[in-house]
Amino acid sequence: MKAEIVNPFLQATVDVLRTMAGVEARRGAPRIKGAGEPSFDISGLVGLSGQVQGYVALSFRQPAAFYVVGRFLGEPVEEANAQVRDAVGELANIVAGGAKRVLAEQGYDLKISIPTVVVGRNHTVSRPRGIPCIEIPFDTDGGPFRVELCLKLEP
């Protein structure tokens, strides 16, 4: 996976959490995610089509989701209710939109779907065959989350 495709998603993640929630996200080392490996507890996914196909997911451990969403909403969060699910989906959508803007400036034609949110401890997100997935861990003062990028570049 090309860095010029991956980096806009990572930068958008850091920027969105900093500006929208006042959260500093510290990035760890990326790794290839195996098929069927579980995600965390709450994931916001946005599908991608066009020259870049696949999806981007922000996957949070529950305490990290509560921390980030609480900062995003400006009030404490204590349960994985509809408001939390909507906020996680919206954060994923804003990240995808930010990356899409940067990629469009680089000449890539890309469309994003509306976000989907999956809730459940160690849930699994299926991906299309033949599309590699890299996982980039992040840490915050409220706990860990991951950005999962399952992307394929079309000619």
Domain count, the chain: 1
- Structural domain containing residue 72: 3-153
| pLDDT score, position 33 | 87
**Where residue 61 sits, what CATH number does that domain have?**
3.40.1550.10
| pLDDT score, position 1 | 67
How many whole angstroms separate alpha carbon 91 and alpha carbon 97? 10
pTM of the complete model: 0.91
Q: What is the mean pLDDT of residues 8-22?
A: 96
Give the CA distances from residue 120 to residues 48, 59, 92, 116, 151, in Å, rounded to whole numbers and listed in that order.
23, 11, 17, 13, 24
Percent of the chain, pLDDT > 70? 99
Give the CA distances from residue 93 to residues 43, 58, 132, in Å, rounded to whole numbers and listed in that order.
12, 10, 21
How many whole angstroms separate alpha carbon 52 and alpha carbon 99? 11
Q: What is the mean pLDDT of residues 119-144?
A: 87
